[in-house]
A = this chain, B = another copy of it.
Amino acid sequence: MIKDKGRSILTESGLKITPQRIAIMEALLTIKDHSTAEFIKEYVTKNNPNLATGTIYNILEAFCQKGIIKKVKTEKDIMRYDVETKSHNHLYCDECDYIKNYFDEELDRLLKDYFSKKNLSNFSIKEINLQIVGNYSPHKNN
C-alpha cells in the first residue's frame, strides 16, 4: 500500500512522522509526475482541509534536504518536485508546462566519462542536469 511506502520512507529519513508528512508523501507517490506545491495542496486538502500552504512548502523543503525528492526548475517561476530517485534527465515541452522523465544510462555514462576526462580546474562537479527543450507532440492534456 502506498501509504505504508510513504511511512517507511519517512522512518528511514529520520523525520518525525506526522499526518501532514504522510499525506504529502502519499500525494507525491500517487501523482508521481513533477508536481507543483499548488497541485499537491489541492490533492492533500481533500482529506486534510486544514493543511496550511506554508506547511506544504516546509515539508517539501524537508524532503529535499533528506534527498527524498528533488526540486526541478521550470520555464515559469513555479517550483516542481520530483519523486523519481533513479538518475534521469528531463524533456521540457516549450508549448506547455509538461516535463517528461528521460532515462538513459548510456547518456549518464557518456557525460560522466566526458567530465572525468576533462577535469575542470577549480571546479568540483556535484551534479549535471541536462534540460532537453523542445516540443513533445502527444501532450498530457490533449
Contacts and interface: CB of A to CB of B under 8 A. Distances in A.
Interface of A: 73, 77, 91, 94, 100, 102, 104, 107, 110-111, 114-115, 118, 120, 122-138
A87 to B, nearest CB: 14
Contact of A132 (B104, B107, B128, B132): B128
Identical chains in the assembly: 2
Given A122-B136, A130-B130, A131-B131, 17 more contacts: A77-B77, A91-B120, A100-B123, A102-B120, A104-B118, A111-B130, A115-B132, A122-B137, A123-B134, A123-B137, A125-B132, A125-B134, A126-B133, A126-B135, A127-B134, A128-B130, A128-B131
A67 to B, nearest CB: 15
Nearest to A94: B126
Contacts of A126: 94, 133-135
A114 B104 CA distance: 11
Given A131-B128, A131-B129, A138 B114 contact: no
A67 B133 CA distance: 16
Contact of A136 (B94, B104, B123, B138): B123
Nearest to A71: B75
A14 to B, nearest CB: 23
